C-alpha cells in the first residue's frame, strides 16, 4: 500500500535567502488569460461567495467563485454586478429611457450600487441626458418621468478612444463625476467615472480583464440544466466557468467541459474535483484550462467519512501537478486549508493557487 501525505504530515524546511519579504512576487497565472495578484480563490459555497465577496476578492488580486445555490437568472445577475462594479470604462452601461418612471431608475441604482444612469432614446440608443443621485435627491414623486429630472444640457461627452489621462482632466475641469462616452451616431457606448478611477488607484493589484473590469468566476454543473446555467453565465460575462462536482472523474463532467468548449471555445473552464493523475488527464483531454484538486479534505466535507473515498491532499496535489506539467494547465488546491502555512505547502507542492 502506498504512503500518502496531507498538510499536517509535512513542514517546509527553511533555507538561506537573499530576498526580503517586501521584494516577493506572489502573482500566479491561473489560465493563459487570467493572472492573479494573490494565489487565492474563494470557494463556491453559499456561505462564502456572492457578488460582494467576489468583488472584494478581485480587488485584492484574487478571484471569487459565485456559488450555484441560486436560480440561473440570479447567479447571472451576480456576475453582471461584479463586472459593472469597477471598470476603466464601463462598456455598454446600464441605461434608461426618458419616459420611464423615476422608480425604475432608483431601483436600478440600488440593485447595482451605482449613482448615475445615462438616459437614451429607446431604439436608437441616442444619448439625451444623464440621471444622477443629485438630480433625484429631493424628488418626491417616483412616478414622474426620468426626463423631468435628468440633466440634459451641457453634457460632457468623449469618444471611445479617449485616454485615461484626458478623461481625468475633463472630469476635473468640469467638476463632474461621470464622463459619457459616445460613438459617431451619438449613441452612449460607455461611461467613465471618478469612483472607478479612485478604485483603480486604491487597488493597484486588482484582478481585471482587458477592459479594466473586475474578473469573476461562477460555478455550474453537469447535465442539461447545468449546460443552460453555463450558457447564461457565459452570456453574462463570466471570466472563468467552474464545473463544480464532488467527483470530477466522470463521463458527465468531461462531457460538460467538451460541450461548453464546442459552443464557445474562448470560454476558460475550471473543472473538478479530482484527486488522481488519471482524473487530471481526463479533464485536460476534455478541454479544461484549470483542474481543481481535492476529494474530501474540506472542513465540512463528509466524502471520506460517508463514502470512504479520497486521497490525502498533499499527495493528491503532487500527483495532479505532475500529470498536468506538460499541458500548460493549472492546478487549484481545493480544501484542507486550515492555516496560512497549509497554503504555502500546497503551493510548494506545485499548486498554482489555493481555494
Domains and CATH numbers, the chain: 7-13+24-86+206-354 (3.20.20.70), 90-195 (3.10.580.10)
Is-contact 258 284, C-beta < 8 A? no
CA distance 328 to 315: 20
Confidence (pLDDT) at 302: 63
Say which range, 37-51, 186-200, 230-244, 311-325, has the weakest mean pLDDT: 186-200
Q: What percent of the chain has pLDDT over 70?
A: 96
* 307: confidence class by pLDDT, cuts 50, 70, 90: low
Whole-number pLDDT of residue 196: 78
Q: Is 120 helix (H, G, I), strand (E, B) or coil?
A: strand
Asked if residue 294 lies in contact with residue 273, where contact means CB atoms within 8 angstroms, the answer is yes
Mean pLDDT of the chain: 91
Q: Which residue has the higher pLDDT, 262 or 172?
A: 262
The pLDDT score that the predictor gives to residue 298 is 63
Quick one: pLDDT at residue 12? 95
pLDDT in tens, 197-211: 888 888 989 999 988
Q: Which residues pair with 192 in a beta bridge?
A: 179
Residue 354 C-alpha from the chain's centroid: 16
The count of other CB atoms within 10 Å of the CB of residue 221 is 17
What is the spatial distance between Cα 27 and Cα 234, in angstroms, rounded to a whole number? 26
Instruction: Kindly give, in sequence order, each residue whose CB lies less than 8 Å from that of residue 113, ignoring residues fewer than 6 positions away.
Output: 81, 85
Q: What is the pLDDT of residue 79?
A: 97
Task: Enter the C-alpha cell of residue 346.
Answer: 500546497
Cα–Cα distances (Å) from 31 to 15, 124, 328, in that order, read 30, 39, 8
Task: Tell me the average pLDDT across 46-58.
Answer: 97
User: Which residue is associated with the grid cell 500548460?
Assistant: 328
Rounded to an integer, what distance in angstroms lies between the CA atom of residue 292 and that of residue 243? 9
Task: Decide if 136 contacts 149 (C-beta within 8 A).
Answer: yes
CA 320 to chain CA centroid, Å, is: 25
Beta-strand pair 217-220/188-193: unpaired
Which of 146-150, 319-323, 348-352 is predicted with the least confidence, judged by mean pLDDT?
146-150
Res. 237: pLDDT tops 90: yes
Amino acid at each position: 500500500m502506498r504512503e500518502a501525505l496531507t498538510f499536517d504530515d509535512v513542514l517546509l524546511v527553511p533555507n538561506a535567502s537573499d530576498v526580503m519579504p517586501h521584494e516577493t512576487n506572489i502573482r500566479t497565472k491561473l489560465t493563459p488569460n487570467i493572472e492573479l495578484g494573490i494565489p487565492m480563490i474563494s470557494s463556491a459555497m453559499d456561505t462564502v461567495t456572492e457578488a460582494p465577496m467576489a468583488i472584494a476578492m478581485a480587488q485584492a488580486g484574487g478571484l471569487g467563485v459565485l456559488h450555484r445555490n441560486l436560480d440561473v437568472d440570479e447567479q447571472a445577475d451576480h456576475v453582471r454586478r461584479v463586472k459593472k462594479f469597477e471598470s476603466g470604462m464601463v462598456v455598454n452601461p446600464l441605461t434608461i429611457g426618458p419616459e420611464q418612471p423615476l422608480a425604475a431608475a432608483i431601483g436600478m441604482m440600488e440593485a447595482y450600487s451605482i449613482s448615475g444612469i445615462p438616459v437614451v432614446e429607446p431604439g436608437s440608443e441616442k444619448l439625451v441626458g444623464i440621471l444622477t443621485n443629485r438630480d433625484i435627491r429631493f424628488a418626491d414623486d417616483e412616478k414622474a418621468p426620468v426626463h423631468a429630472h435628468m440633466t440634459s444640457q451641457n453634457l460632457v461627452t468623449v469618444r471611445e478612444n479617449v485616454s485615461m489621462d484626458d478623461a481625468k482632466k475633463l472630469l476635473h475641469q468640469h467638476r463632474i463625476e461621470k464622463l459619457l462616452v459616445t460613438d459617431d451616431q451619438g449613441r452612449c457606448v460607455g461611461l467613465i467615472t471618478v469612483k472607478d478611477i479612485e478604485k483603480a488607484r486604491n487597488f493597484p493589484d486588482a484582478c481585471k480583464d482587458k477592459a479594466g473590469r473586475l474578473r469573476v468566476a461562477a460555478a455550474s454543473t453537469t447535465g442539461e440544466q447545468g449546460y443552460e446555467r453555463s450558457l447564461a453565465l457565459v452570456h453574462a460575462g463570466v471570466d472563468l466557468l467552474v464545473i463544480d462536482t464532488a467527483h470530477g472523474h466522470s463521463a458527465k463532467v468531461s462531457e460538460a467541459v467538451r460541450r461548453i468548449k464546442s459552443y464557445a471555445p474562448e470560454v476558460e473552464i475550471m473543472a473538478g474535483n479530482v484527486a488522481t493523475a488519471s482524473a487530471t488527464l481526463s479533464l485536460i483531454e476534455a478541454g479544461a484550462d484549470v483542474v481543481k484538486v481535492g476529494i474530501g479534505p474540506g472542513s465540512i466535507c463528509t466524502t471520506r467519512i460517508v463514502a470512504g473515498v479520497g486521497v490525502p491532499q498533499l499527495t493528491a496535489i503532487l500527483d495532479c501537478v505532475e500529470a498536468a506539467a506538460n499541458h500548460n494547465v493549472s492546478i487549484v488546491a481545493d480544501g484542507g486549508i486550515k492555516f496560512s502555512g497549509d497554503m504555502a505547502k500546497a503551493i510548494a507542492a506545485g499548486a498554482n493557487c489555493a481555494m
